[in-house]
Structure 1
């Protein structure tokens, strides 16, 4: 049986996806730790390579965990103040491996609900590193991280409150004041 390079690449991406899912599951109980996918596309010796890591955000610091043969591409501790600092460190690590970073794809935060059927948005921000200047890349990364942090502070929408009929919401009307009568539906 002949094995094509695209088959090996898809197998690697599938294993990386399973590892990302496992890391998300294992960190699910840490409510202060926000997780988001980061995908890299690099070029080396004429071939394209892809790498997926789980980005982390906690208490104002960014970091990442992933699987790689190289330690500097596998684990980034939570000490980067900005998302652009984290990704610049990844870019330097790829340069040390003689890889050229081509594209970076960043998704929004992953839900902490273990029963969520929400799909992971892998391509929320797609950044072509070759076309953007260093300042343009930093600006786009800061815009994306600002959007992500706003989602944390906003939180999920609150469920609507049910109004009680016997308690008035007006502070001027006391309990002894007459209540409005409910109208019956006209046919």
Structure 2
């Protein structure tokens, strides 16, 4: 490491992994879990938009942010940046399976790999995830995650989970995001919902053990959402909104965009029975998408066009229109007065 703390390593990964690990050991959960906004619960979230290795401007901004949010402030940053003997952090291996490995076992192995990457406590997301990008571009970012093996946040874990389950056609994947409230502030979180063999589960990354992985054992989407709702109540958060996307294509070369918010459900507006009906309707919508053929990827289409000079050109691909989103209604103003012993701090998930 140079005097200004910059890494001189291929790909920008090795020393950066050691640096982030040192931060995590002393982190006091001061950071947010957000992925949709630059602020979540009043705490800013920065994104590394310059790729890897991290450029000097982003690197210095990360350290300034660490100094602001960490209880030990600048002393922590100085100790790590001046260290000459930071340990070498092992690189987790992407899971591989035997033909007899069951789907639940494969999902558990994927979640174990995501955990081994560790949660990113620096306040700077290392991989830029633009939700509007086509699936093929997001899969390229997921490949880079496996090469660099850097700590990740919840949105990065969703993209990585999609990448690692692409070769599992019996598993359907969909984004499942949450908006919660605590002490007047709102917090965002997202996981990757999974469905296989008539059961629902989830993959993801969070500081909270019960806000990420869910085994493939929930019979309905309602049961899965209720499981997360209970987890939020366990850390004194009120779950306000649930946003559910459509099933994601298994074709890594697909130019489709992920549909992140097919259904937007306001839990303050809906009764339990109304929520159950909305989730059942969304489940039916996801099944209907499976019945529709996905548009061919450009790579496969290009290969087909090179087969025979007598082949008749295929008709232009029509974009499949999305089903109109169904917001559950205007959100009511949530009037919640936190107890006196909780008003002095924020519990971030």
Normalised-by-shorter TM-score class: 0.7 to 0.9
Q: In structure 2, the residue corresponding to 1:43 is in which secondary structure?
A: strand
Does structure 1 residue 156 correspond to structure 2 residue 193?
Answer: no
What is the distance in 1 between the residues matched to 2:197 and 2:284?
A: 14
What is the distance in 2 between the residues matched to 1:117 and 1:75?
A: 28
Are the structure 2 counterparts of residues 157 and 64 from structure 1 closer, same or farther at C-alpha, using a change threshold of 3 Å?
closer
Structure 2 unaligned segments of length 5 or more: list them. 1-37, 48-123, 130-152, 297-349
Match of 2:278 in 1: 140
TM-score by length of structure 2 reads: 0.42
What is the distance in 1 between the residues matched to 2:244 and 2:46?
A: 20
Counterpart pick for 1:8 among 30, 40, 45: 45
Deviation at 1:117, TM superposition (A): 1.6
What is the distance in 1 between the residues matched to 2:228 and 2:294?
A: 35
Query: Whose strand fraction is larger, Structure 1's or Structure 2's?
Result: 1
Alpha-carbon displacement from aligned partner over 1:146-172 (angstroms, at most 9, x marks no partner): 1112333x241799xxxxxxxxxxxxx
Q: Which structure has the greater CA radius of gyration?
A: 1
What is the distance in 1 between the residues matched to 2:237 and 2:227?
A: 13
Match of 1:38 in 2: 176
Match of 2:263 in 1: 125
Structure 1 stretch displaced more, 39-48 or 6-15: 6-15
What is the distance in 2 between the residues matched to 1:144 and 1:126?
A: 10
Match of 1:172 in 2: none
Cα RMSD (Å) of the superposition? 2.3
Q: In structure 2, the residue corresponding to 1:50 is in which secondary structure?
A: strand
Query: Whose helix fraction is larger, Structure 1's or Structure 2's?
Result: 2
What is the distance in 1 between the residues matched to 2:265 and 2:175?
A: 14
